[in-house]
Amino acid sequence: MRIDIVQTKDAALLAKLNKDVQRLHHDIEPDIFKPYDHEQMTELFEKALLSDEVTAFIAKVDDIPAGYMLLAHKVSDANGFKYRTETLHIDQICVENAYKGKGVGKCLVDYAKEVAKIKGIKRIEMNYWTKNTNSGEFFRSQGFSNFNERLSIEI
């Protein structure tokens, strides 16, 4: 099995690959996440890809698209509270259910690490929905650790 990571501008393909994770998010938080809609997802990806900060990558398993990742290069200027920071943010990462457990997600994360090294960025950040416990376990297995927590209260 060969896994290749290639850059893409194909919003419709990204939308298609987003289906499994959008359905999962909708199942976990149906009051927040809408059901999967290919047209709406395509429009969202088209908008995201217009940004100079965002780059999309497809993971192909033996030339078949199996997952994707959106990376955002973020710079925060120094101010009275903190130093200037430059991070590579994994804005989205998704592996189709049929390819989970086959190393596709690891290849995407490894690729993000290489992109950061090439750009001279020393920190990669990402977030995930806490109820998606598989994602938390996966990212910790790739060396990620908590550095900030976000809390909510339902009123």
Residue 150 inside a domain? The answer is no
Report how far apart the first and last C-alpha atoms of the chain are (Å, whole number): 49
- Is 146 part of any domain? no
Looking at the structure of the chain, the number of domains it has is: 1
Q: Is residue 31 part of a domain?
A: yes
Which residue type, as a one-letter code, is found at position 1?
A: M
Mean pLDDT (whole number) for 10-23: 96
Let me know if residue 25 belongs to a domain.
yes
Q: Residue 105 — very low, low, confident or very high, per pLDDT cuts 50/70/90?
A: very high
CA angle 122, 127, 130 (to 5 degrees): 145
What are 35-94's pLDDT values in tens digits?
999 999 999 999 999 999 999 999 999 999 999 999 999 999 999 999 999 999 999 999
φ/ψ of residue 68, rounded to 5: -150, 170
**The token pair that represents 35 in the structure block:** 């059901």
Do residues 92 and 43 make contact, with C-beta atoms less than 8 angstroms apart? no
pTM summary value: 0.91
Is residue 71 in some structural domain?
yes
Domain span at residue 70 reads: 3-138
148 located within any domain: no
144 by Cβ neighbours in 10 Å (0-12 / 13-18 / 19+) ranks as middle
Exposure of 79 in the CB half-sphere (CA atoms within 13 A)? 4
The residues pairing with 67 across neighbouring beta strands, listed in sequence order, are 59, 95
User: Count of alpha carbons within 13 Å of 107, Cβ hemisphere only?
Assistant: 21
User: Is the residue at 18 inside a domain?
Assistant: yes
Q: Tell me if 96 sits within 8 A of 132, measured CB to CB.
A: no
CATH of the domain at 27: 3.40.630.30
Asked, for residue 95, whether it belongs to a domain, the answer is yes
- For the beta sheet containing 54-61, the strands, ordered from the edge strand earlier in sequence to the opposite edge, are 3-8, 54-61, 64-76, 85-95, 124-126
Of 147 and 71, which is predicted with more confidence? 71
